[in-house]
């Protein structure tokens, strides 16, 4: 039973189709960038399906006896009642439901005393988006699931939601402004109620989950341009800027506050975090300042920051500046050009340093078109890439996978977001 799990590359995706008498499940090898070819899909795994069901009274049971040991198999099941495969998300496989079933599962998962556990809900969110990226399901179905969970209380589920929405945000970055604004509006609709509920103040009596959820919600709402959250963070930073007193900025919000200040401010805010970088009170504050310095929308400040990287930044800090520049929509393309313009200098600076691979990834992997992938590949041809060939190959794979995802989902997502706003 274990041989194919141990000796074969990859893992399966189980597709679920419903009929009058139950469900038909089919296994195929999962590939993150699309459906496998026949010669890539020869492995048959022994998959414990762990079918979770609930009866009319809400009593939950898990059937651990059902094992999918062939390509397809039919299972008798009352589909009028809630059900889910891979109960507790303990199996190493993805599960693809129809959009209609996923919506029903989401509605059940959103209930106060849902039959689906914390682990179930985390797995559902991850599967839905990963399968959409692979072209196995629709991205709009994943968004439907996430929308149904807006009343979720657990940090770990929200962390999964934020992570998956972050991935989608990265491929939408060059889509029309209306699409990007509608996407931010959707994110605000999820995150702002959490901010309103949890507030900005931290207490010694807060649980670890509460602290993490508050931090995540504020950061996500600010990233989605919520005006109230931006105003609150700006006020706290301004007090620090004018007095040097940082007591109004909780430790867990330093990074978000700094980044927000520079992103929505000007040179004065940039100069303030630059001073923090040069004389940081803690390593965490230094990292926050580096990421904030790269958050500006101002082209002149972006160029000044990149120049600063080559003249005033310690070598071990460089990757944080590259990471921040790649995360900034206004400098995402510029960081790749900067790398190419200073290729000889950078490769010499980082000769024998493992960080060079990170710089390659940060410079290029956030691009999202086949044209970008072809251009990056062509630029490196003839150059000695032996010290970062894996990072380069992974970056090209990421660009192409995201380009395919974007091409498949851009119309679907744009329509879904337009309707969600109404």
pLDDT of amino acid 266:
95
Residue 93 near residue 118 (C-beta atoms within 8 A): no
Averaged over successive runs of 10 residues, the pLDDT of the chain (422 residues) comes to: 75 94 95 84 94 89 95 94 95 96 95 94 96 95 97 97 97 97 98 98 96 98 98 98 96 98 97 97 97 98 97 95 97 98 94 90 97 98 94 96 96 96 76
pLDDT in tens, 198-221: 999 999 999 999 999 999 999 999
* 74 strand-pairing partners: 24
pLDDT of amino acid 1:
59
Mode of pairing for the β-strands spanning 51-54 and 83-84: antiparallel
Secondary structure element (H or E) that encloses residue 76, with its range: strand 72-76
Cα 235 to Cα 147: distance, rounded to the nearest angstrom: 31
Among 375, 169, 317, 99, residue whose Cα is nearest residue 294: 317
Token pair, residue 46, equals: 């022994």
Token pair, residue 324, equals: 């921040």
Strand, helix or coil for residue 219: helix
pLDDT of amino acid 113:
87
pLDDT in tens, 300-311: 999 999 999 999
pLDDT of amino acid 26:
97
pLDDT of amino acid 83:
95
Strand, helix or coil for residue 152: coil
pLDDT of amino acid 378:
98
Among 90, 130, 84, residue whose Cα is nearest residue 107: 84
Mode of pairing for the β-strands spanning 12-18 and 94-96: parallel
pLDDT of amino acid 162:
98
- Tokens 């699409």 — which residue? 179
- Kindly tell me the burial class for residue 391, based on how many C-beta atoms sit within 10 Å of its own C-beta (0-12, 13-18, 19 or more): buried
């Amino acid at each position: 039973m274990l041989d194919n799990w141990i000796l074969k590359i990859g893992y399966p995706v189980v597709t679920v189709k419903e009929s009058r008498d139950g469900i038909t499940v089919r296994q195929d090898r999962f590939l993150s960038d699309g459906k496998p070819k026949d010669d890539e899909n020869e492995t048959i795994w022994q998959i414990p399906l762990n079918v979770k069901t609930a009866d009319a009274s809400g009593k939950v049971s898990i059937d651990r006896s059902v094992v999918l040991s062939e390509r397809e198999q039919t299972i008798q099941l009352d589909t009028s009642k809630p059900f889910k495969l891979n109960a507790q998300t303990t199996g190493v496989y993805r599960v693809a439901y129809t959009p209609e079933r996923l919506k029903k599962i989401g509605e059940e998962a959103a209930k106060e005393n849902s039959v689906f556990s914390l682990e179930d809900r985390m797995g559902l969110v991850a599967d839905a988006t990963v399968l959409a990226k692979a072209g196995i399901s629709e991205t709009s179905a994943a968004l439907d699931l996430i929308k149904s969970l807006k009343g979720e209380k657990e940090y770990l589920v929200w962390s999964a939601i934020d992570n998956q929405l972050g991935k989608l945000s990265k491929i939408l970055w060059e889509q029309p402004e209306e699409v990007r604004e509608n996407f931010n509006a959707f994110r605000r609709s999820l995150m702002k109620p959490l901010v309103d509920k949890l507030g900005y103040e931290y207490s010694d009596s807060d649980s670890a989950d509460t602290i993490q959820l508050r931090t995540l919600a504020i950061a996500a709402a600010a990233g989605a341009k919520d005006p109230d959250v931006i105003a609150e963070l700006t006020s706290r930073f301004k007090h620090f800027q004018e007095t040097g007193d940082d007591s109004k900025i909780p430790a867990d919000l330093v990074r978000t506050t700094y980044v927000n200040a520079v992103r929505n401010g000007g040179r004065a805010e940039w100069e303030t975090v630059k001073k923090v970088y040069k004389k940081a009170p803690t390593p965490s504050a230094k990292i926050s300042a580096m990421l904030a310095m790269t958050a500006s929308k101002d082209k002149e400040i972006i160029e000044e920051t990149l120049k600063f990287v080559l003249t005033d930044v310690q070598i071990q800090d460089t990757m944080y500046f590259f990471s921040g520049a790649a995360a900034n929509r206004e400098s995402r393309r510029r960081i790749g050009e900067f790398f190419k313009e200073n290729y000889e200098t950078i490769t010499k600076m980082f000769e024998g340093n493992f960080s060079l691979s990170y710089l390659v990834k940060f410079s290029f992997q956030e691009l999202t078109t086949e044209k970008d992938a072809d251009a990056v590949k062509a630029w490196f041809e003839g150059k000695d890439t032996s010290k970062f060939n894996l990072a380069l190959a992974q970056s090209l794979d990421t660009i192409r996978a995201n380009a395919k995802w974007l091409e498949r989902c851009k119309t679907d997502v744009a329509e879904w977001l337009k309707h969600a706003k109404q």
